[in-house]
Amino acid sequence: ATPTQAPPTGSEPLGTGPDTFTLAFPDSGVGLTVWNGGSLATMAEGARNGGARSMFITVNGRWVSYSIGGPSFVNSNFAAQFPGGQVPAGTVVLVVV
């Protein structure tokens, strides 16, 4: 059996402290926001709660993707950018909703 994920709550965590995004996600399409620092797992869960299907960052001018709910091998390049699983504050994130 394939595990199922809970549906998005419709609200990404917003704020200025750790484990939050600075800007709300769009209702559909793509949007830019900034992560205020925290774990990659918390960032991905927060993005999923906001309805995101994927996230992108840039590394040396190249887009690196993270598929929300995707298997770890699909997201391994994204995860490798954050040793210890911690995404620093100020990380710009493009979200696809």
pLDDT of the residue at 34 = 98
- Find the domain containing 84 and state its range: 31-96
The answer to whether residue 18 is domain-embedded is no
Predicted TM-score of the model (pTM): 0.87
pLDDT of the residue at 11 = 80
The answer to whether residue 8 is domain-embedded is no
Strand partners, 67: 54
The answer to whether residue 91 is domain-embedded is yes
Q: How many domains does the chain have?
A: 1
Could you tell me the two tokens for 12?
Answer: 């990404």
The answer to whether residue 81 is domain-embedded is yes
Could you tell me the two tokens for 44?
Answer: 């991905």
CA atoms within 13 A on the CB side of 10: 0
pLDDT tens digits, one per residue of 52-77: 999 999 999 999 999 999 999 999 99
How far from 32 is each of 6, 26, 94, CA to CA, in Å? 24, 9, 5
